[in-house]
Structure 1
Amino acid sequence: MVGKRTILLVDDNFMNRRLVGAMLNGGHYLLIEKENGRDGLAYLLANREAIDLVLLDVGMPDLDGTDICRAVRGIEDSGSRLPIIAYTAHAMAGEQQSLLDAGFDDILVKPITREDFLPLLERHLGEGKNPGQEFP
């Protein structure tokens, strides 16, 4: 196995963070959790090179995931796009398209299951991103 992949999860709901952590349990990932948008954005900006994927709750009260995604996309260079996934209960087609238009690479609809979540990780972190990566 290649080294652990680092996922930054920004979600104000403790139970959602626990659920994601349980799904990633297996030793292949390092999960960094932030419980609000401001802390999440600050951590992301300070540690960008160490993060492989970001999972952002869209509906946080202080600074939501869409604001964070737009901020990151506004400062990225064209050659180093960080995979950013919207984590949301908003499943309507129009809402999903607006998230993609805001710069998200994919959408994970709550409530999530391992069957939805792990293939999404593989799409964004798997073959072609880090050959040899194993998934739990």
Structure 2
Amino acid sequence: MANLNILVAEDNIINQMVVSRMLEKLSYTADVVSDGMLAVEATRETRYDIILMDVMMPTMGGMEAAKLIRSEESEGHRAQIIALTANAMDSDRHRCLEAGMDDYISKPFVLETLREKLRLAFESVNGTARM
């Protein structure tokens, strides 16, 4: 299994635990923060490959955080940001992509959905089809 630096930005403690356990089942660990501002601060300290970002969070929402992360990324590195949201409308997906997110997962989701989204993100990060 590939070694990826993953950040989970999610304000709901139950959802934090669910996503963390799913990642563990896939042999990954992640740093977890509870709002968008903390996610931005974490990316200033650590170079993440993948960020699983809740859209609706206190202090700073996921879309605003994604825009800020994109504006601060160093040349040659672009984290894959995957939106996590309860909103499943096409317009919501479009807004997430416009904010600089790369993909979108509607809550609730199953392990196989997360596995596939991580596989696609891994391919984007590494330019390969292995995982």
- TM normalised by structure 1 equals 0.85
Shift of the alpha carbon at 1:38? 2.0
- Rg comparison, structure with higher value: 1
Match of 1:6 in 2: 5
Match of 1:65 in 2: 62
User: Would you say the 8 A contact 2:26–2:115 is kept in 1?
Assistant: no
SS in 2 for 1:29: coil
The code of the aligned residue for 2:113 comes to D
Q: Aligned residue pairs: how many?
A: 131
Counterparts of 1:33-112 in structure 2, within 5 Å, are 33-47=32-46, 49=47, 51-77=48-74, 79-112=76-109
Shift of the alpha carbon at 1:30? 2.2
The code of the aligned residue for 1:15 comes to I
- How many angstroms apart in 2 are the aligned matches of 1:33 and 1:129? 23
Higher relative contact order (CA 8 A, sep 6+): 1
- TM normalised by structure 2 equals 0.88
Q: Decide whether aligned partners of structure 1 residues 128 and 32 sit closer, same or farther in structure 2, where only a CA change above 3 A counts.
A: closer
Match of 2:15 in 1: 16
Counterparts of 1:108-119 in structure 2, within 5 Å, are 108-119=105-116
Match of 1:28 in 2: 27
Which stretches in structure 1 are left out of the alignment for 5+ residues? Answer: none
